[in-house]
Structure 1
Amino acid sequence: MAPRVLISDKLSEAAVQIFRDRGIDVDFQPDLGKDKDKLLEVIGQYDGLAIRSATKVTEKVIAAADNLRVIGRAGIGVDNVDIPHASKKGIIVMNTPFGNMITTAEHAIAMMFAVARQIPEASASTHAGKWEKSRFMGVELTGKTLGVIGAGNIGGIVCTRAVGLRMKVVAYDPFLSEERATELGVEKVGLDALLARADFITLHVPLTEQTKNILSRENLAKTKKGVRIINCARGGLVDEQALADALKDGHVAGAAFDVFAEEPAKENPLFGLPNVVVTPHLGAATTEAQENVALQVAEQMADYLITGAVQNALNMPSVTAEEAKIMGPWIKLSGHLGNFIGQMTDEPIKAINILYDGAASQMNLSALTSAVVAGIMKAGNPDVNMVSAPVIAKERGIQISTTKQDQSGAFEGYIKVTVVTEKRERSIAGTVFSDGKPRFIQIKGINIDAEIGQHMLYTTNEDVPGIIGTLGTTMGSNGVNIANFTLGRSAAKGEAIALLYVDEEVPAKALDALKQTGMFRQVKTLQFEV
């Protein structure tokens, strides 16, 4: 029997035809996604579900989807899909991460022009029969300095377009290498330097704990007087009230926003202010982008349903079904190794070197390597997956190398990841025990045996008495229960490390208390998807 696919949002006829041409029974009901009850009633009949943003694939929908094997999102954002529950039920969730990059970048450039020349206000004034030529005095882009926060896929395109406009471009991105910066024609700088120098600032980063309010009231105060700020990335990257205050007092000359902390944005501190251009999240809203992502998701879903090939999956590696049975725990380990280093590294990465020993060296190294790289990149960009991560790493000039060797120690196999930056090398190794659980077995060359949990605390210190007591007492006094406590040292009275698996996230006051003891060189919380 041919696979059945439901398209519950508006996709192009060309995308529908792709399914038909591949022998898939497609049911095109573009308004069904808005009817939650009807979707619940019929979802159990289908092997695939193709959506945009209108359809909400909730836990209830997934529970009713008895035959569903794949969900395809035409676009990058999957906030409307309950991925954890889809994963538990064995449903693959795919997206199309590269389909709207150019469109979003072009929108940012268009918004920059609009705020530089006050085009929306001038247009409204002229429509009203006024002729206020002297009121709308703009500024040229040529020769101005553009500060780009986030020089990944979309930010990189903005950089090249701005260089073409004869702007000076400075970029802040912890993962941007000098080689990639040279290729883009931009200068890599720290955030404070960017804030002080930029005439225009445009943001192109995901919303994470590290990037939330990256343009805070404090950082806005560090900007050059007369700066203009563009945000076509994510709401929440800018303190909107602080920006409104800076616009009112004249420190900021203008702003152009396509995204807001709360959407749909019916009210906002920026609304109604002069020289503020706002659009309703139109970054990906072009005919070309919508067509591209629709065609891509149809091709990806058809490939999976017909041949089993997996592309751009957010919750499954690109491996065959046979490989997945053996490699599952090793892929999880690879992601944890990468994610550990990604969370520990806040400077540009030049190279990622991966050693596969023993049993690990006989597996699908492409999938394992992708999992490592994705783990590293996820620390700065949670939208990265195993397919997109190597592409992003290549674009950023990161060299990836792998080495295979026969079994060389007590373990049947292990993986060791080393990241090289301009300042240092950082390494970690891990293995999978017979119970199928990944373990960290070495950090910075120091042997350990650490179980991996969702919430962890990592410390480094000189090997002196009192460390265990201090850690235990501090965690206890702050209500944090320790599930697993691992220690390691290079030599007696040498460098030592501790890795704690705790039941809940360690509060900031506990971290401050540890730092204030003066006993620790480094105190860092870590989070893992387990």
Structure 2
Amino acid sequence: MAPKVLISDKLSNAAIQIFKDRGIEVDFRPELGKDKEALAAAIGDYDGLAIRSATKVTAALLEHATNLKVVGRAGIGTDNVDKEAASKKGVIVMNTPFGNMITTAEHAIAMMFAVARQIPEASASTHAGKWEKSKFMGVELTAKTLGVIGAGNIGGIVCDRAKGLKMKVIAYDPFLSEEKAEKMGVEKVDLEELLKRADFITLHVPLTDQTRNILSRENLAKTKKGVRIINCARGGLVDEAALAEMLQSGHVAGAAFDVFSVEPAVENPLFNLPNVVCTPHLGASTTEAQENVALQVAEQMANYLLDGAVENALNMPSMTAEEAKVMGPWVKLAEHLGSFIGQMTDDAIKAINITYDGLVAGMNLKALDAAVVAGIMKASQPDMNMVSAPVVAKERGIQISTTSQDKSGVFDGYIKVTVVSESKERSIAGTCFSDGKPRFIQIKGINIDAEVGEHMLYTTNADVPGIIGTLGTLLGQHGANVANFTLGRSKAGGEAIAIAYLDAAVDADIIKELTATGLFKQVKALEFNL
């Protein structure tokens, strides 16, 4: 059955066509974005939800989203999506961080020009029939120092444009290396230095606990007298009340804001102050940007729903379409390994240790980690997936560690999973052969070569004669057909294991009768989602 996508905000016809061209059923109902009750009534039918900023994806809405797999936000900001609730429900949240970068950066530059030359006020005055040429004395940008807080995607473009305007650019960004700053042609400084030196300050960071009120009353007081401040990033980065006071006192010469702490902003301390330019969150509002993000979100959602590619996800490791093709068998193997241990473990898990060897060590390990954890967690909670399982594991205090290493054995690559529980430690390793099929190659340190099947029977016993005969006889008596059968032992007369791949689920009576023989230390029926 083809996946179904709901578009609950305005999206371009070209984006809608992308879904149709990929064979995805799509319903365009932009009226639902502002009607939470109608949206809740409809959402249960859909695998994907494409939105802009009007739709609010809340925990309450997600309770109705029984089939939802992905939310795609056409734009960068996802404040309207409860990402924690989505993660617990196993729903991927994607955005489009690159579609509106240039547009937002250009708006910041335009706002800087506007506040430097008081263009909006001068325009309003002239429209009113006044000719107040001497009233609007501006300043040049040339040779001024621009302080950029956040030199990432958008901030980096602003830096580049500002250099073209012959400004001196200094940047504060904890993630900016000296080498990258030098390559960008900017001076990396700490926040204190930026506040002290900048003639203009522009913000380009997300709103987090670390960045909230980064321009607090205290930090605003440290700025250079006559500074002008531009915020086209997120409301809440600046103490607006404190800034209003400093504009009135003359310490701050001007401000240009496209975003506000409360939106829609119908009232704000900055409104109606002289030399304050305000726009209604227009950073991404160009024809080009709106089209770009719409097309990008449609492509990303289609790639995930059809091919498993995860691009620009905020609550799961991203995996491109190209990576998904190469890694697909390994992701499946990782989940099978986790599933094996999860089904074998009855007590509380304390730690999960994962080793990646050889060629697999160079892959997207975060995605593989998520697959292992999902496999383990599904044993007790079948609705877990690669999004929700790591969140639940973290909540339970399970420690997850990984090791990657060069090829150390006969296989080009393998994954080994070890789980430490309250009572014991279990391990299993597997690889993918050239046919793409996963294999179990080691259980409890015993080497084997077992094809993974949907229905499997696992036993452990002492290495003594008669085991194979007993297994074969009992399975035959119950009409259980064996597709594949693998044996392994630690040493002659030591511990031995057997794993059988059956055509149908293992009957409970088989487990009882094998256990009753007294020959087996452990008998377990296992199920794998192929």
SS across alignment from 1:301: helix
> Which residue in 1 is equivalent to 2:310?
310
> Which residue in 1 is equivalent to 2:155?
155
Aligned runs of 1:341-352 on 2, under 5 Å?
none
Q: Structure 2 counterpart of 1:296, which letter?
A: Q
Percent identity reads 72
> Which residue in 2 is equivalent to 1:368?
365
Specify whether residues 315 and 213 from structure 1 end up closer, same or farther in structure 2 by C-alpha distance, changes over 3 A only: closer
Q: CA deviation at 1:359?
A: 3.9
Q: Structure 1 counterpart of 2:194, which letter?
A: L
Q: Determine the C-alpha separation between the residues in 2 that align with 1:110 and 1:90.
A: 41
CA contact (8 A) 1:357 1:406 kept: no
1:167-197 C-alpha deviation (Å, 9 max, x unpaired): 1111111111122112211111121221111
Q: Determine the C-alpha separation between the residues in 2 that align with 1:330 and 1:267.
A: 57
> Which residue in 2 is equivalent to 1:17?
17
> Which residue in 1 is equivalent to 2:28?
28
Q: CA deviation at 1:299?
A: 0.7
> Which residue in 1 is equivalent to 2:259?
259
Q: CA deviation at 1:329?
A: 12
Q: CA deviation at 1:435?
A: 4.6
Q: Structure 1 counterpart of 2:183, which letter?
A: E
Any unmatched runs of 5+ in structure 1? 332-355, 373-385, 387-401, 416-430, 437-530
1:444-492 C-alpha deviation (Å, 9 max, x unpaired): xxxxxxxxxxxxxxxxxxxxxxxxxxxxxxxxxxxxxxxxxxxxxxxxx
SS across alignment from 1:433: strand
Q: CA deviation at 1:58?
A: 2.0
Q: Determine the C-alpha separation between the residues in 2 that align with 1:371 and 1:224.
A: 49
Q: CA deviation at 1:165?
A: 0.4
Q: CA deviation at 1:38?
A: 1.7
Any unmatched runs of 5+ in structure 2? 339-352, 370-386, 388-402, 423-530
> Which residue in 1 is equivalent to 2:59?
59
Q: Determine the C-alpha separation between the residues in 2 that align with 1:206 and 1:133.
A: 39
Q: CA deviation at 1:85?
A: 2.9
SS across alignment from 2:363: helix
Q: CA deviation at 1:210?
A: 2.1
Q: CA deviation at 1:404?
A: 2.5
TM-score, structure 2 length as denominator? 0.64
Q: Determine the C-alpha separation between the residues in 1 that align with 2:303 and 2:261.
A: 37
Do residues 76 (structure 1) and 62 (structure 2) align? Answer: no
Q: CA deviation at 1:315?
A: 2.4
SS across alignment from 1:219: helix
Specify whether residues 221 and 315 from structure 1 end up closer, same or farther in structure 2 by C-alpha distance, changes over 3 A only: closer
Specify whether residues 365 and 82 from structure 1 end up closer, same or farther in structure 2 by C-alpha distance, changes over 3 A only: farther
> Which residue in 2 is equivalent to 1:103?
103
Aligned runs of 1:343-492 on 2, under 5 Å?
358-359=355-356, 363=360, 365-368=362-365, 404-405=405-406, 433-435=419-421
Give the aligned length.
367
> Which residue in 1 is equivalent to 2:280?
280
Q: Structure 1 counterpart of 2:158, which letter?
A: V
Q: Structure 1 counterpart of 2:20, which letter?
A: R
Mean Cα deviation higher: 11-20 or 241-250: 241-250
Specify whether residues 432 and 240 from structure 1 end up closer, same or farther in structure 2 by C-alpha distance, changes over 3 A only: farther
Q: Determine the C-alpha separation between the residues in 2 that align with 1:211 and 1:94.
A: 22
Q: Determine the C-alpha separation between the residues in 1 that align with 2:258 and 2:159.
A: 19
Specify whether residues 359 and 224 from structure 1 end up closer, same or farther in structure 2 by C-alpha distance, changes over 3 A only: closer
CA contact (8 A) 1:201 1:230 kept: yes
Q: CA deviation at 1:291?
A: 0.5
Specify whether residues 41 and 167 from structure 1 end up closer, same or farther in structure 2 by C-alpha distance, changes over 3 A only: same
> Which residue in 2 is equivalent to 1:169?
169
Specify whether residues 51 and 247 from structure 1 end up closer, same or farther in structure 2 by C-alpha distance, changes over 3 A only: same
Specify whether residues 321 and 366 from structure 1 end up closer, same or farther in structure 2 by C-alpha distance, changes over 3 A only: closer
Q: CA deviation at 1:160?
A: 0.3
Q: Determine the C-alpha separation between the residues in 1 that align with 2:361 and 2:52.
A: 32
SS across alignment from 1:5: strand
Specify whether residues 83 and 141 from structure 1 end up closer, same or farther in structure 2 by C-alpha distance, changes over 3 A only: same
TM-score, structure 1 length as denominator? 0.64
Specify whether residues 58 and 130 from structure 1 end up closer, same or farther in structure 2 by C-alpha distance, changes over 3 A only: same
Q: Determine the C-alpha separation between the residues in 1 that align with 2:178 and 2:292.
A: 32
What RMSD in Å do the two structures reach over aligned CA positions? 3.1
Q: Structure 1 counterpart of 2:152, which letter?
A: G
SS across alignment from 2:78: coil
**The structure with more radius of gyration:** 2
Q: Determine the C-alpha separation between the residues in 1 that align with 2:358 and 2:57.
A: 38
1:316-372 C-alpha deviation (Å, 9 max, x unpaired): 3325665446657999xxxxxxxxxxxxxxxxxxxxxxxx99446564643226899
CA contact (8 A) 2:361 2:405 kept: no
Specify whether residues 213 and 30 from structure 1 end up closer, same or farther in structure 2 by C-alpha distance, changes over 3 A only: same
Q: Determine the C-alpha separation between the residues in 1 that align with 2:105 and 2:50.
A: 26
Specify whether residues 187 and 414 from structure 1 end up closer, same or farther in structure 2 by C-alpha distance, changes over 3 A only: farther
Q: Structure 1 counterpart of 2:363, which letter?
A: S
Q: Structure 2 counterpart of 1:56, which letter?
A: K
